[in-house]
Structure 1
């Protein structure tokens, strides 16, 4: 007897009698995709500029990204929001970033609807829509779309990937992570990487492994069921971590500097049709020194930093190739829609000189050039958290002005590739139609023949803001359907309208010209002044690199575009305009747990993110562990926080009790008990007693006395002349082990405690000294 199925939610069509022999069964029909529905793969790169991919003119080898371009299309006019979380929200919802509550990264949330970092459920995700049409949905890699105070094991989990329509998740929740020792989450729980760096582990390879595993798991059950894979690499965000052989491929490739890079890439972009033959390269940025004016040692260091970055991108391309080969070998690649995008332009968060360890930058403790040079051969490896100088940022955004966080095209125009061999006849060609990342969702839905849902799980859906560019995929002459688009990022504003672009830079066209740096607040009087005199106007249809300000020549057009910006701002929740960084950083935010002076931790629990951990820096504090030591002794970590880049660890080794404070990866200050801790039950305690004041401007935290107690008796003390002043980043706190990068070279991670550890308590009743500006730098670098 054939199975009878009926649409879910409709009346039962069978017969219900008194017994089964006089009844006829019927089943609610499973949700199935239409026959032949294509797979969807979204590849989101991080901090990758317009001039970084080989198919966009770069000398960096990206053959697999190039192969997607050769089998599909490259767009020259695709735009992002210029920042991480805002762009990622647009990509998955098809709505503008302020309407998603994502005016900036979630760590800079404030109490206004467009700024609170809480994506509303009425803005459904593509994953939620496709789930209702029979797709498997997989999220792999970087998320950064959950409020930072909800990234802990206390939840709530409603805005984690599994709460927003993804059936499987493997990746990291925050803005950045070590590629060698990542902070991994599998579905809704924290996990450790499957291997160690010395065993060949790297996050990018792991993400590709999991992508293929998720697809294979589903396909072996239902080969006809399509999938949506949202693949968000940690690359090429800092830290620029890569196996040395990939970086070494580029030895000497960038010795002629960032000015020469721009010239070569721009020439190649014209040859490829990415830029018009008569286009002009943007001006030399006032914040970037001339390469030839740099000391020889600086050029050598900065060249190596760029070699490491290039290797990082090359390595990412290599592993993307594994995924493409897998799809090809399993007969799925031809009927897979692949879209490749970066979340914003290249990142300038390495500052003018770059860094071997971002923890030093955050803590005002930047090492001198001669110290950085000592690490030159280790850059990219597990010991460092490196980022190149912003001269390479500017070069990576060739031919445009500026960079990430700013709404000039260098921050907001990105490479965009679309490939669907079975569905797009055009191959290897360029499209110049204007588009914005909010157009990606409506385009995918049109290609799949799916209407945007009116409700998801009972929540009525807001209209999509983007428009489909599907017509441009098959017709180079199809008109642009996206006519107007506003931009706002940290007070930096712009608006596009039919080939023209008005920009109001904040705090100015460059930091040098403004005379101040990033993060300045905007008063109402200053806003009026900016609207009267601060806007620039570019005819980008003829001047794509925004070189010629036509504001004085087209005053009426500019006034109309400024008015249009305010119309769009009112429509999408942009107000109030906020140029500040520090004020957002220190503003009061709702917390899952209220602040307290006493914290209790137990072993075998999840690590605690830095923002949710006790703030022990620059204040008296104590750590107390309740343990049982077996006959024969025990060893291992009781409590630790941080990594080799900086942190502290309280542990037993060789029977002795130890505490170490790792000052920004540069110095280690230790204290050790003279005698072995005997077998039995004990209370092991560390106390920090300040002995002076911090020198925050010079990156030196409070000096203090490091004291060890066993069962209330002082057994050892030592002085630390300097401690970390502001931030531990990475800064996860762990009880009973040191997963990931070890805080000290005195042991190898995870160094789990081998005795019985009942609990560890931390008391922080002393006065807290902190620097909000340093905290801001940390959060902005995690975008």
Structure 2
């Protein structure tokens, strides 16, 4: 397909676009009685288009990648497609994010600071405070909505982590989902991370399953690229004159670090020398590339991050393997993004496409603990200690495979943020917020392989896109008066490497870590680190640091030399924080997971819940059964051939529970982080016909994560008894569903696979009940009706 040729000026160039949707034109003129009358004449209908000079826009966002991760910025991960894109465009060496995924993404998609759009942290930690609510204000319309209403085709692929937790349901509301936020098409997942082998996928707002299994070669990275390529080709085949806006955010390289061995094996032995050597090697490459100055200083490793030589020698092979897998994951991500870029080239539209490649929505992730982990859910549940060195060594060959849910150690995260201090979540320092950026647009950026050193922030992208597309910031969108964008344009730097710096001031804050940039100066304070579980200090006890404009890496704290300047910057930080809803500061961790404490809505309340066959819902949509006694009752019809398959399951291979039948017998499996599987089996087969099957779990009590006794019932009669020694206190999974009638994700029990596990009979309903009861009674239809009415 040929490049979209320059079009002559059109009526679309003179449209008033400050009010969106653009009002329909009203015809005023002669109206005839008969359409065959020679005087019958109406202006032809024209499909809305942007101004004629508007290019296609493609934003590519890599996840959890530090400044020193990709080879295009001196890192160890081979990324030839990123390098090729940079060789044909420009690289920004002082581009910044927010230090965490949801906030960066909402800031990117709206052109406003993250607290301004309610995203002070990830959606799962939303509170009732305006800056942390997880709800995008209606007066801050997203970029996709603005572009769509100006005539762009719009599509999003991959990760969406901007939907409030209580809105991730099959029945909405969907106004914050991609298709409710300006994207006409969405294919991807909703949440913080996805299993690369068993993702919880949506097309639009409909839950779907992958078309292949991991055994057939499925990975999410490959699937997303295929979908994006198909959509882009189709869009240009049908509407070649209509530019597109594609937001491609694959969720890689966020944990779990999943990648086929063909990618990770390319790095065998490359990291045996450890993370301290890796930092030094990366630092030298960065100087050679010019992405840091020749006189830049490598920042010191903080005492909270252990030296490689201090690590247990028995663990080092596991640690090296963790990094090999991550590097392979990054290279696979580069390959799949390269396929999308090749599709754009093959269509002949590369010159007319503005591409932003953002290598990381924050610094590299230090959420994997000092030793790294085989199952990240153990860490997220506050139980990293269950994975001993011996356990990690025993699973070394499973890292990166469908059997693992792995994450690398803190030391690797720090090394991948070279040359800066700290990591993801730590918004005070550049290690958490400075990310590599590549801009490529042959029709607007003539520079090839040049560097740009102006300070910019992710909120600047939306403003720049509108300017490039000759579109104004709208005054009204969907009848709502709009607040102004909070970023600045990057357009002057596209053509002038010495363009004056126009992003003069920027606040940073995440979980109490905070900083301020002003005309080269930075003031910052690290309040907490993500791998330490101890309570952070009072905010007023935080120790602030000061760095001068010529200190590229924030390596030399000069607070003692200029206390007045620090005081001025601290005051300015507070002004900015007040302006953008940053206060009240909130450094709570696990407490914010509890919706009652956080003050956010809950999808499910009360002590009972009904579910029906075919339902697939997220963990937030299910009654919380953790750390308490409960029963699960299912009304089923067993066929003559006997019962097989899953009745109900929650979670997956890395933690959860499932009630199922196998070879005619009723079974309950509690999966403790994939480490232990406590399976209770009925003493006899379930006969054919209609039955109420039930599992009762009697919690031991006395705190979190305790065990309990399991009893199985059929029609009120006890048919089996077992024991669960320990349970997961906070969450089963980050992305697995609760399924009725099958297990659509990874298998929660080792006794069945991820395919062919659907229940062979019929399920009328499943009821969850919290608390102990006389488990021998049957639930009558009128009882269920009362329950349903009580929930209205």
TM-score bracket for the superposition, by shorter chain length: over 0.9
Name the counterpart of 1:55: 72
Please state whether the residue corresponding to 1:124 is helix, strand or coil.
Answer: coil
Name the counterpart of 1:373: 393
Distance 1:99 1:604 in 2: 39
Please state whether the residue corresponding to 1:114 is helix, strand or coil.
Answer: helix
Matched, 1:612 2:618: no
Aligned match for 2:610, one of 600, 611, 627: 600
TM superposition outliers: structure 1 runs of 4+ over 6 Å: 4-7
Name the counterpart of 1:780: none
Q: How does 1:103-122 map to 2 (within 5 A)?
A: 103-122=120-139
Name the counterpart of 1:506: 527
How many pairs are equivalent?
A: 745
Name the counterpart of 1:707: 711
Name the counterpart of 2:601: 591
Distance 1:284 1:521 in 2: 22
Unaligned runs of at least 5 residues, structure 2 = 1-9, 16-22, 774-792
Q: How does 1:123-142 map to 2 (within 5 A)?
A: 123-142=140-159
Checking the alignment, whether the CA contact within 8 Å between 1:94 and 1:440 is kept in structure 2 is yes
Distance 1:418 1:682 in 2: 62
Distance 1:385 1:192 in 2: 19
Checking the alignment, whether the CA contact within 8 Å between 1:694 and 1:703 is kept in structure 2 is no
Checking the alignment, whether the CA contact within 8 Å between 2:188 and 2:203 is kept in structure 1 is yes
Distance 1:377 1:633 in 2: 38
Residue 322 of structure 1, CA deviation:
0.8
Residue 28 of structure 1, CA deviation:
4.8
Deviates more, 1:249-258 or 1:110-119: 110-119
Distance 1:576 1:111 in 2: 11
Query: 1:441 and 1:100, CA in 2 relative to 1: closer, same or farther beyond 3 A?
Result: same
Name the counterpart of 2:443: 422
Please state whether the residue corresponding to 2:238 is helix, strand or coil.
Answer: coil
Distance 1:81 1:36 in 2: 32
Checking the alignment, whether the CA contact within 8 Å between 2:127 and 2:600 is kept in structure 1 is no
Please state whether the residue corresponding to 1:318 is helix, strand or coil.
Answer: helix
Q: How does 1:525-564 map to 2 (within 5 A)?
A: 526-527=539-540, 529-530=541-542, 534-539=543-548, 541-564=549-572
Name the counterpart of 2:776: none
Residue 645 of structure 1, CA deviation:
0.7
Query: 1:41 and 1:438, CA in 2 relative to 1: closer, same or farther beyond 3 A?
Result: same
Name the counterpart of 1:283: 300
Name the counterpart of 1:184: 201
Q: How does 1:125-524 map to 2 (within 5 A)?
A: 125-341=142-358, 342-363=360-381, 364=383, 366-406=386-426, 407-507=428-528, 517=533, 520=536, 522=538
Distance 1:198 1:60 in 2: 26
Please state whether the residue corresponding to 1:220 is helix, strand or coil.
Answer: helix
Please state whether the residue corresponding to 1:372 is helix, strand or coil.
Answer: helix
Please state whether the residue corresponding to 1:99 is helix, strand or coil.
Answer: helix
Distance 1:136 1:438 in 2: 22
Q: What is the CA deviation profile of residues 34-60 of structure 1, one whole-angstrom value per residue up to 9, with x for unaligned ones?
A: 335311111111110000010111121
Q: What is the CA deviation profile of residues 8-55 of structure 1, one whole-angstrom value per residue up to 9, with x for unaligned ones?
A: 533214432334345433455321133353111111111100000101
Deviates more, 1:635-644 or 1:727-736: 727-736
Distance 1:615 1:582 in 2: 15
Distance 1:682 1:741 in 2: 28
Residue 502 of structure 1, CA deviation:
0.7
Query: 1:653 and 1:358, CA in 2 relative to 1: closer, same or farther beyond 3 A?
Result: same
Q: What is the CA deviation profile of residues 581-634 of structure 1, one whole-angstrom value per residue up to 9, with x for unaligned ones?
A: 2443332434254512111111112x2211221222232211111111222223
Please state whether the residue corresponding to 2:154 is helix, strand or coil.
Answer: strand
Please state whether the residue corresponding to 1:674 is helix, strand or coil.
Answer: strand
Checking the alignment, whether the CA contact within 8 Å between 2:367 and 2:530 is kept in structure 1 is no
Q: What is the CA deviation profile of residues 85-136 of structure 1, one whole-angstrom value per residue up to 9, with x for unaligned ones?
A: 1111111111111111111112222222212111112111111111122210
Please state whether the residue corresponding to 1:211 is helix, strand or coil.
Answer: helix
Checking the alignment, whether the CA contact within 8 Å between 2:197 and 2:402 is kept in structure 1 is yes
Distance 1:457 1:109 in 2: 26
Please state whether the residue corresponding to 1:740 is helix, strand or coil.
Answer: coil
Query: 1:373 and 1:171, CA in 2 relative to 1: closer, same or farther beyond 3 A?
Result: same
Q: How does 1:646-725 map to 2 (within 5 A)?
A: 646-690=655-699, 692-693=700-701, 696=704, 701-725=705-729
Query: 1:320 and 1:254, CA in 2 relative to 1: closer, same or farther beyond 3 A?
Result: same
Query: 1:57 and 1:162, CA in 2 relative to 1: closer, same or farther beyond 3 A?
Result: same
Please state whether the residue corresponding to 1:414 is helix, strand or coil.
Answer: strand
Checking the alignment, whether the CA contact within 8 Å between 1:637 and 1:651 is kept in structure 2 is yes
Distance 1:324 1:257 in 2: 34
Name the counterpart of 1:771: none
Distance 1:75 1:665 in 2: 42
Deviates more, 1:715-724 or 1:496-505: 715-724
Distance 2:534 2:721 in 1: 43
Distance 2:702 2:221 in 1: 39
Aligned match for 2:744, one of 736, 739, 743: 739
RMSD: 2.0
Query: 1:521 and 1:125, CA in 2 relative to 1: closer, same or farther beyond 3 A?
Result: farther
Distance 2:147 2:140 in 1: 14
Please state whether the residue corresponding to 1:625 is helix, strand or coil.
Answer: strand
Query: 1:10 and 1:148, CA in 2 relative to 1: closer, same or farther beyond 3 A?
Result: same
Checking the alignment, whether the CA contact within 8 Å between 1:57 and 1:268 is kept in structure 2 is yes
TM-score by length of 2: 0.91
